[in-house]
């Protein structure tokens, strides 16, 4: 088992531009830690970070990190804001939500492609996407959304979709099986009281298949704090 930030950095570096990474997690602080880590990684490597903020998911992460004593304002992170009222980070695009998936997907795809064409190679963190599937009530609408996600495969980004498994599995149409099919890499996160264990369930990197990386929570926080105070 691997257990250092360097191990995790190497694993992230093995993910190629254009890949879609699905990160599955149970109710926990996984979104907070993963988002903080990926933002820290982007800063360290000089790679632009874009966050798709659906339904104020980034606001929740921001407040939770504050409760952990982490001061992170995401001011240097580009944010595509989809619905919600609280703006966190550098908002570069806003998408008006629609309960009609076809309409919403068109708006989302147009905004996403425009941003990616301007930013180029980047790390794209997608938050709250499982909540969008709550508005899906037909198989046609379901596959409209799935097809939209497929269209971003191969774009100049490393995309990380963070999905709460319990929320997704409670939907009328559970998106996890199709998201696992689309994703080039699937990572399951198992939280403990003091750490997070990442298991690579699917990846084109043969040496990573089945690999477990366990990172103490304190290590992630320390790395983020050091980087913010050394820039």
SS3 sequence of 80-94: EEECCCCCCCEEEEE
How does pLDDT run along the chain (231 residues), one tens digit per residue?
Answer: 566 678 888 999 999 999 999 999 999 999 999 999 999 999 999 999 999 999 999 999 999 999 988 999 999 999 999 888 899 999 999 998 887 877 888 888 888 888 888 888 999 999 999 988 988 999 999 998 999 889 888 888 999 999 999 999 999 999 999 999 999 999 999 998 888 999 999 999 999 999 999 988 887 777 665 445 544
Q: Is 13 exposed, middle or buried (0-12, 13-18, 19+ CB in 10 A)?
A: exposed
Token output for 8: 């995790």
Q: Which backbone phi and psi does 193 adopt, to 5 degrees?
A: -65, -30
200 and 181 in contact (C-beta within 8 Å)? no
Please give the Cα distance from 227 to 229 (Å, whole number): 5
Single pTM value for the model: 0.92
- pLDDT attached to residue 140: 92
What are the residue ranges spanned by the domains of the chain? Answer: 15-189
pLDDT score of 3: 60
CATH superfamily of this structure's domain 15-189: Protein of unknown function DUF257 (3.40.50.11570)
Residue 231 confidence (pLDDT): 46
């Amino acid at each position: 088992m691997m257990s250092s930030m360097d191990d995790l950095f190497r694993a992230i570096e093995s993910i190629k531009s254009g890949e879609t990474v699905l990160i599955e997690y149970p109710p926990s602080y996984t979104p907070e830690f993963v988002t903080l880590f990926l933002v820290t990684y982007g800063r360290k490597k000089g790679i632009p970070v874009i966050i798709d903020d659906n339904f104020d998911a980034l606001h929740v992460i921001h407040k939770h990190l504050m409760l952990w004593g982490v001061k992170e304002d995401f001011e240097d992170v580009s944010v595509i804001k989809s619905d919600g009222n609280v703006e966190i980070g550098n908002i570069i695009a806003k998408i008006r939500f629609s309960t009609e998936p076809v309409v919403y997907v068109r708006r989302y795809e147009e905004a996403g492609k425009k941003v990616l064409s301007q930013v180029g190679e980047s790390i794209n963190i997608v938050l709250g996407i499982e909540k969008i599937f709550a508005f899906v009530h037909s198989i046609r609408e379901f596959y409209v959304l799935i097809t939209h996600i497929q269209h971003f495969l191969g774009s100049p980004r490393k995309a990380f979709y963070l999905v709460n498994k319990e929320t997704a599995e409670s939907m009328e149409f559970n998106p996890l099986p199709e998201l696992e099919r689309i994703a080039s890499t699937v990572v399951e996160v198992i939280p403990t009281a003091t750490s997070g264990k990442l298991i690579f369930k699917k990846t084109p990197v043969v040496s990573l298949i089945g690999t477990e990386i366990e990172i103490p929570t304190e290590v992630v926080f320390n790395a983020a704090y050091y980087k913010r105070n050394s820039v």
